[in-house]
Amino acid sequence: MSILGDAATIVTRTISGDIDFQVVNAYRSQAAWVVFVPLTLIGGLAVYYLYRAVPWLERNLERTIVVWSYILMALIIFSGVIQRFFLSGQPAWSTTVPPLIFMIMAWYGCSFNVRLRTHLSFNEFRTKFSRKGQIAVLSLDAVLWLMFCMIVITTVSREVVRSYSNFQIVLGTDNTMQWWFLITIPVAFILMAGRVFENLFEDWSNYRNNRPLINQAVIGGDV
């Protein structure tokens, strides 16, 4: 099948939820890039405008997800130990669900750090660049982050659809599907793309208005 045909299969069959071997193959083909690269850009811009329209979401969406997933993960492990010591024993899923929650927390936390610009980096040279040099490297960062999002969204989506088509359940549970957790990761990267656009537009606004472009990021300083 042609790339465009596969791309059409991916879009239509994913929306309808009718995933079979043909769809999994379409995801494995180059057509996935044709679908998910534009989706990352459009999704990122949509998130950017959503955040502008609803500032509460901009401040709290990722924050709420990471806080609750962190608390839930700790609670499951803590209560698992308490159950083992004082009750009849801990449920089998108490060791298999927390890693999936950790995965969600890690990638939404990653997106949050993109906005705060707290990802580890060696900023010493760029702070000494001219303004033109600084806006160039900041724009380069944005391009690299966007490409990162595109690659991860495409390749992770293939994993999600594979998990869906194989009916993978979370170990220790009867009917909890793994893809329920995995599907949140492409969403996290679309939010991340939105953060990248936010930073990029902010940088260019700062550049045009002669405001400082690079500030020292402080971990925990803006939470």
Note the residues at the interface with another protein (CB under 8 A): 28, 63, 66-67, 70-71, 73-74, 77-78, 80-82, 85, 95-96, 98-100, 102-103, 105-113, 116, 118-127, 137, 140-141, 144-145, 148, 151-152, 154-156, 158-159, 178, 181-182, 185, 216-221, 223
Q: How far is the CB of 204 from another protein (least distance, A)?
A: 18
User: Alpha-carbon distance 51 to 74, whole Å?
Assistant: 30
Instruction: Identify which of residues 16 and 175 has a Cβ nearer to another protein in the complex.
Output: 175
Three-state secondary structure along 151-179? HHHHHHHHHHHHHHHCCCECCCCCCCECH
Contact 9, 22 (CB under 8 A): yes
Give the closest residue to 195 by CA, choosing from 44, 65, 60, 49: 44
The contacts of residue 132 (CB under 8 Å, 6+ apart) are none
User: Alpha-carbon distance 117 to 49, whole Å?
Assistant: 20
Contact 161, 13 (CB under 8 A): no
For CA atoms 64, 152, 40, 176, the dihedral sign is: negative
